[in-house]
């Protein structure tokens, strides 16, 4: 009797749709493997809209982060359009630091537009997309955004209408400071030298002489910084994964399994938390699936395991 009651409750679809989950969400952490070099993989995202709008009409910040060095490039913008993305990549990324190999973005229309993809294709840049509604993929940019907000707010005027004027200083501060993960200075990893600050005392004697093996030694030095950063990133990722995975399940779904999908749009108090039922139509990766609605076969979604819950089969009670 007890087993039958438990099965009846677990298989109640309305209960599954409305009940809050009091445990850790499914799916173990899968960190992004650090690339072999600088400017190999970059993460790009928009931040905003930021209120209040500045005197110059800026409401957004577009930022791009190098995964290995943690070097960040930012720009305050008036909108988050594809035209703004293209201009940023051409003027602030390619023209100043060279062409990156890969850029990872979310699925916003400004990144998926034909204009953005045409530029990336012409420049020979591979465009990677994160899983929809899974901001953890772009976690490095999200963490920088939260740090950036606090520093900009502290430096801005009382009305917070000049935050765009403080953005270059906050960005430089990040790039000139030892990063907690890599234990290296992003600026030094990119340029092969520590940044000179306005209050640094410099020698009055300027030498124009250059060591004959300067280029070779510079490459060796940057390579050593990259190797050390890579080791520190992997070490930090392993520690983070151990903490994140503790008491967290990592389910595997088979084709045809019935599931409910977390409601993404804004919901009222009594609205369902999970919609469906859906069935597993395709497995894209360890944590990513394509699901298909049972009653609306044309409705499919790409989803991760932390956004789905299984539907249990109700046993016949004889």
Per residue in 143-152, is it b (16+ CB within 10 Å) or e — as a string? Answer: ebbeebeebb
What does the alpha-carbon distance between residue 102 and residue 59 come to, in Å, rounded to a whole number? 27
What does the alpha-carbon distance between residue 79 and residue 93 come to, in Å, rounded to a whole number? 18
Residue 210 lies in a domain: no
Mean pLDDT over all residues of the chain?
87
Same domain flag for 45 and 61: yes
Specify the pLDDT at position 33: 85
CATH number (domain holding residue 223): 3.30.420.10
> Per-residue pLDDT tens for 101-112?
999 998 889 999
> Per-residue pLDDT tens for 276-304?
899 999 998 888 899 999 989 899 988 88
Residue 201 lies in a domain: no
Specify the pLDDT at position 302: 87
Same domain flag for 5 and 62: no
Same domain flag for 2 and 80: no
Q: What pTM was estimated for this model as a whole?
A: 0.82
Residue 153 lies in a domain: yes
Same domain flag for 3 and 65: no
Q: What domain range is 285 assigned to?
A: 1-23+252-310
Report CA Rg, the chain.
Answer: 24
Residue 32 lies in a domain: no
What does the alpha-carbon distance between residue 172 and residue 186 come to, in Å, rounded to a whole number? 10
Strand 41-47 and strand 274-283: the pairing is unpaired
Range of weakest confidence among 90-99, 135-144, 231-240 = 135-144
How many structural domains comprise the chain?
2
Same domain flag for 75 and 173: yes
Q: Identify the residue whose tokens are 């204009």.
A: 115
Which carries the bigger pLDDT value, residue 26 or residue 123? 123
Same domain flag for 135 and 154: yes
Query: Does pLDDT of 155 surpass 70?
Result: yes
Residue 318 lies in a domain: no
Same domain flag for 84 and 220: yes
Residue 208 lies in a domain: no
* Phi and psi at residue 282, to the nearest 5°: -160, 145
Mean pLDDT along residues 188-212: 78
Residue 33 lies in a domain: no
Residue 139 lies in a domain: yes
> Per-residue pLDDT tens for 14-32?
888 788 888 888 888 888 8
Q: Which of 205, 224, 244 is the last residue of a domain?
A: 244
């Amino acid at each position: 009797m007890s087993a039958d009651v438990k099965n009846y409750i677990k298989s109640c679809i309305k209960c599954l749709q409305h009940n809050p989950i009091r445990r850790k969400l499914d799916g173990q952490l899968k960190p992004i493997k650090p690339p072999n070099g600088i400017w190999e993989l970059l993460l790009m995202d928009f931040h905003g809209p930021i209120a209040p709008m500045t005197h110059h009409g800026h409401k957004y910040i577009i930022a791009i982060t190098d995964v290995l060095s943690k070097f960040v490039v930012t720009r305050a913008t008036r909108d988050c359009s594809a035209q703004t993305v293209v201009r940023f990549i051409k003027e602030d990324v390619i023209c100043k630091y060279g062409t990156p190999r890969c850029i990872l973005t979310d699925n916003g229309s400004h990144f998926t537009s034909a204009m953005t993809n045409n530029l990336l294709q012409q420049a020979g840049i591979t465009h990677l997309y994160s899983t929809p509604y899974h901001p953890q993929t772009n976690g490095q940019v999200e963490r920088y955004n939260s740090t950036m907000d606090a520093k900009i707010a502290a430096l801005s005027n009382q009305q917070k209408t000049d935050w765009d004027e403080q953005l270059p200083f906050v960005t430089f501060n990040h790039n000139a400071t030892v990063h907690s993960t890599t234990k290296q200075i992003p600026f030094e990893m990119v340029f092969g030298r520590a940044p000179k600050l306005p209050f640094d005392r410099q020698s009055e004697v300027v030498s124009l002489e250059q060591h004959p093996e300067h280029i070779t030694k510079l490459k060796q030095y940057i390579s050593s910084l990259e190797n050390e950063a890579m080791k520190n990133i992997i070490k930090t990722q392993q520690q983070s994964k151990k903490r994140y995975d503790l008491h967290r399940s990592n389910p595997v779904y088979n084709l045809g399994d019935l599931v409910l999908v977390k409601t993404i749009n804004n919901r009222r108090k009594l609205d369902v938390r999970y919609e469906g039922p859906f069935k597993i139509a395709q497995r894209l990766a360890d944590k990513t699936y394509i699901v298909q609605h049972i009653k609306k076969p044309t409705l499919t979604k790409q989803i991760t395991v932390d956004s789905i819950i299984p539907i249990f089969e109700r046993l016949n009670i004889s």
